[in-house]
Structures are given as C-alpha cells and as structure tokens.
Amino acid sequence: MVVLFDRFNLPDDIYEVVFATKQQVIVAKLLVDMIKEKGGEINKTEMSLFATYLHDGEIVTENLQEEPYRGKKVKISYNKRQFYDRILTPMKSMGIVDYDLYKKTYSLSEKFNKEFIRMGLMWLKEFRREPYKLMKKLQS
C-alpha cells in the first residue's frame, strides 16, 4: 500500500491519511474500536464474525463523527472480501494490526509508528549523504 500525503493539508485523522474512502475510514475505525473493546486482542473467529456482520449489514453504530452521520444510528455494510483486501491486509502490512501466527490472534500494534520513525531516519541519512560525482560527457 502506498501512503501519499500533502504535509500542508494533512488531515487531523490518521485513518484519512491511510485510507482512500470515507467508507474505508469508518470500517477501519470500527475494527480498531472493536479490538480495543476486547482488550486489545481478538482471535480469528472474532475477526471472521466481524467481517461477516459487516457483510450482512448487521453492525449498527451511533458513534460516527463524520457528517451526515453524526448523532444518528447508522447501519454499516461492507463486502467481506473487500474488508480483508482493503482494510485488514493493509493494516497488517503497515503495522497497525499485528497477527500472531501461533496464538492465531489479531492485536493493535505500535509498529506503524516505529516504521514511520524509521522512514524519517532513512530520509535524514539520504539528506546528509554526500552527492554522487556525476560525470558529464559533452559531445560536439
């Protein structure tokens, strides 16, 4: 996944930096909130149930801060396959969500933050590097 941002127009919400659509932002927030409610870790069955409930449109929330949903009960529906492809897999690859292969559990992770710090350090290394000696060949 590629994260593109404009530092002069950076949104206040990290989800809007990471995800392309409002619907993806809403679903990602719901997933993170559900994991937090379960103590920061859920198993594969709970993740599958969440994805199924989303697919069937059985999740209802009143906690959305986005307009025009603020203060209203909203039924959320999202395709199960697209949930795994566009929400969960990118969150795992970026380090927002971690999957423990042995315990078969998903948990929230700080790896996302650490990777951005590492990228900043990579830029500082490049910024301070001496320029390559470029050779010009002039043809007459």
pLDDT in tens, 8-34: 989 889 999 999 899 999 999 999 999
Residue 101 within any structural domain of the chain: yes
Residue 34 within any structural domain of the chain: yes
Residue 41 within any structural domain of the chain: yes
Show the domain range for 78.
7-109
CATH number at 75 reads: 1.10.10
> Is residue 20 exposed (0-12), middle (13-18) or buried (19+ Cβ within 10 Å)?
exposed
The first and second tokens of residue 49, run together, are 């149930």
pLDDT digit string (tens) for 57-85?
A: 999 988 777 778 788 888 999 999 999 99
Q: Tally the domains of the chain.
A: 1
